[in-house]
Chain A
């Protein structure tokens, strides 16, 4: 049509990135009072696309809408797609109510994952706050599946209260393993709780890792990640090896709607995982 036409992609019509694929809910597991895990399979019998730990999908509920949800399944078993959803708004509430046999739409996976290759040979510190554990679960499963590739594995998992802990049974099995150490802490608990109470940062001094040769994966509320990243850096972990999974409002997941901008970055496309070194200035500012 014109002499210079960068708008027309080479090689014909590209796939329409907006279309969700129907997935059947195979199983629905209640995690907490308001959080469930959905196990999904494509209705057309084909395999879901492979994903990297830390990536997310846009998940659609017919007649209600789409929401970004991290993938919490096992990257070695991509045929079973898992999403852990907290009923927080209209769409997530409807998704969390999806019963086995019902259909949801999925498009993705999107975003950068946890840089697993940068953790090889290193001690790994994983810090999860609340619903920050689901996006970290694929990374943990990947490490446990190839345990010899990594050094020490220290997990710190914090939640508001004991009933807010997700993956409770799995966390118990991790606690019994000798090839990782997990500390679980809650902000507040009654007398029935024998575990730690306090912020995840308070558990860091008890974690055993060699800071200069450590990589850290952080996911949780922004203030938790900010304080944890700062503490890890002060302990001697290089800032470019501390990784944070950011969260922002997302409508498209493909870098087009503009909502998830965080400074120069589109969280959906350039993230959600960023090294602390790239974010430090922005994290310390309000309302960026």
Chain B
């Protein structure tokens, strides 16, 4: 068989999917992807095909997520869950280095790099857009060794969304539902009455090498068309909409808009939105000495701008009010991000909407400010 090359389109039968997984495992990858756990479709290590959420989907709305069975046996018949891929490249807790006492001094031992590469199976268009963003965040003048060590070797296997959740708005943010070129392999699951199969598009030579170990055949001419229809149908089913035009200037220019007070009255400051967001990158460090004074470890863990101590300065938080903390989060995400990283920090995945316990919806908040940008606060706390 002629080796496949970048740009090739091939058809993988559902019945051969186990061989695809086997090719990943045999290729030395630690395969992570969607799996059902604790009543949700989360990301976890896949050790057998049955770990995939076969025949499962979810119903989500603002503040609501419920696992639900599908009427078919689709492998990827769902959208986004509470986890995002950042948890692998930028883990919730990560040791950065260890200091070891040496007489009156100490030496600093860097963390060894993890030798096992990841295969990320099931990245959606919004996830790939988020990956591009976190690449820029961690790829500033000083590169983060942990992130880049894992990122450089990670295999990105994209899956095109077969439908949109009511909380999805990737079309608004220009990030989906079609998957562009930033992937190693792209799968479109075809459930069109024909045989259950995948259109596989090859995005890199590494992806091609993986696929060459899997039985596939050149895609029938109808399959790319069927895949385009999947994208079109998903795009048409977007549950949310956000008009990003002028949002940067709107938010940066209206720090005293009364809507910040309205949303702060509901916001619990629970940090769920920042934990679920695939691009939120704030972290703190912790020093963990042993009991003997011989070793001390430096750990990094996720932090959130909703935490009071996040802005601690000289004994007080710079942002004591919930209003200023919500404003910081949304203004950073949709406005300052453009200045800092050259794009919006939002990819339209809707996770912050679904996982907000009080159903705060950033698309609704932005719309309210767009509708009345120059509103003035008349009652309540002074700006």
Give the B-binding residues of A (Cβ under 8 A): 1-9, 13-14, 16-22, 24, 43, 60, 62-66, 88, 101-103, 105, 247-249, 251-252, 254-259, 261, 263-264, 266, 269, 285-288
Contacts and interface: CB of A to CB of B under 8 A. Distances in A.
B204 A3 contact: yes
Contacts of A43: 105
B138 A257 contact: no
B287 A256 contact: no
A287 B135 contact: no
Nearest to B336: A264
B284 A7 contact: no
Contact of A62 (B106, B312, B339): B106
Contacts of A1: 152-155, 184, 204, 206
Interface stretch (B93-101, B235-243, B368-376): B93-101
A66 B284 CA distance: 11
B296 A62 contact: yes
B311 A259 contact: yes
A88 B314 contact: yes
B144 A257 contact: no
Contacts of B222: none
Contacts of B293: 63
B135 A101 contact: no
Contact of A3 (B132, B140, B181, B296): B181
B17 interface: no
B281 A287 contact: no
A16 B145 contact: yes
Contacts of A258: 281-283, 303, 305
A18 B340 contact: no
Given A63-B289, A261-B328, A287 B339 contact: no
Interface residues of B, number: 75
Contacts of A7: 135, 138-139, 147-148, 151-152
A220 B192 CA distance: 68
Contacts of A14: 142-143, 145
Interface string B280-308: 01111101010001001010100101000
23 contacts: A1-B204, A6-B132, A6-B136, A9-B139, A14-B142, A16-B97, A16-B145, A21-B108, A22-B106, A43-B105, A64-B289, A101-B104, A105-B108, A251-B284, A255-B141, A256-B137, A256-B138, A257-B303, A258-B282, A261-B336, A263-B252, A269-B141, A287-B319
Report which residue of B324, B339, B340 has the largest number of chain A beta carbons within 10 angstroms of its beta carbon.
B340
Contacts of B148: 7-9
Contacts of B97: 16, 18-19
Contact of A257 (B145, B151, B155, B283): B283
A285 B255 contact: yes
A101 B293 CA distance: 18
B144 A17 contact: yes
Contacts of A102: 104
Contacts of A66: 285, 287, 298
B156 A259 contact: no
A3 B6 contact: yes
Interface in B67-96: 96
B163 interface: no
Given A63-B289, A103-B106, A6 B140 contact: no
B182 A4 contact: yes
Contacts of A269: 140-141
A62 B262 CA distance: 45
Contacts of B314: 88
Contacts of A8: 148, 152
B311 A22 contact: no
Contacts of B140: 254-256, 269
Nearest to B340: A264
A267 to B, nearest CB: 10
Given A248-B318, A269-B141, A285-B255, A261 B283 contact: no
Given A7-B151, A65-B287, A257-B303, A17 B143 contact: yes
A89 to B, nearest CB: 8
Contacts of A256: 137-138, 140, 142, 144, 281, 283
B110 interface: yes
B204 A2 contact: yes
A77 B287 CA distance: 32
Given A251-B284, A251-B285, A255-B140, A6 B336 contact: no
B258 interface: no
A2 B156 contact: yes
B320 interface: yes
Nearest to A65: B287
B265 interface: no
B1 interface: no
